[in-house]
Amino acid sequence: MQIATWNVNSVRQRTEHLLRYLREVGPDVLCLQELKCVDEAFPHAEVEAQGYNVAVHGQKGFNGVAILAKAPIEVTRGLPGDPDDDHARYIEAIVPNGAGIVRVASIYLPNGNPPQTDKYAYKLAWMDRLIAHAKSLLLLEERLVLAGDYNVIESARDCFDPAAWEGDALFLPETRARFHTLLNLGLTDALRATTDAAGLYTFWDYQAGAWQRNKGICIDHVLLSPQAADRLVKVTIDKELRGEDKPSDHVPVRIELNGEA
């Protein structure tokens, strides 16, 4: 079973990129972030024509997450813990897989910049809610995949120039501490379960030749429950998509899980 995550940075601008990825790679499940559109504006018909069921939690102009799956899915929208939070940043689905299921979430964690503002307080509070929800999901002892754009640089090996990110909300100690709290619940970072290598990036800014100079960061993560981690076969960063015409500034991260039951 292949599960991928991709911040498309506007699905309407990147529809052809998305459809090509579905045709050529064809993951069983694809988590999308930063749709930047309401549910009705998502290209439902085009994606469904590729053989996918579509669940969208959209928002006008920014945010927005979705889960695309070849199998029918049972969907929950929104991260619990704050009924007043109207940001479309979390969607969760139960995906049948043979005799069992896989629970998958698409996550668009707040950026938090500038850190001296309410935006950073919101980021930390959102992470606290995610930690609480993940803790409850782990009690189910299911194959759980929490995938998305976490807006977290977990360590110095995950950015080209660590000094340039000091003071940024993505790399502040409080941000990384909460990410480590999430991992310490019993979750496994899929990429880091397969390699300790530096220089593996998922995002390159549009400015200053970042892609051409490989000045990237790794902020798109796939976290696995023990039941899912036990079935992890490999992790692929589909880096070549960043070199396409008018690409997203993020590329997909794709995992393969072994077995169905």
Residues 137-183: tens digit of each pLDDT: 999 999 999 999 999 999 999 999 999 999 999 999 999 999 999 99
Enter the DSSP assignment of 259: -
- The pLDDT, as a whole number, for residue 260 is 61
Active site residue 149: yes
CATH of the domain spanning 2-257, picked from 1.10.390.10, 3.40.50.300, 3.30.230.10, 3.60.10.10: 3.60.10.10
Which of 108, 120, 150, 201 is an active site residue? 108
Q: Which residues of the chain have pLDDT under 50?
A: 261
Residue 173: how many CA atoms within 13 Å on its side-chain side? 0
**CA-closest candidate to residue 4, choices 126, 95, 109:** 95
Residue in 28, 149, 158, 189 annotated catalytic: 149
Q: What is the pLDDT of residue 259?
A: 76
Q: Is 245 exposed, middle or buried (0-12, 13-18, 19+ CB in 10 A)?
A: exposed
Decide if 108 is catalytic.
yes
Query: What Å distances lie between residue 162 and 29, 101, 130, 183, CA to CA?
Result: 33, 39, 26, 22
Calculate Rg over the CA atoms of the chain: 17
Burial label for 75, CB within 10 Å (0-12, 13-18, 19+), is: middle
Residue 121: which of 219, 129, 239 has the closest Cα?
129
Residue 243 CA to residue 241 CA, distance in Å, equals 5
Segments in 6-154 forming alpha helices (H): 15-24, 44-48, 118-138
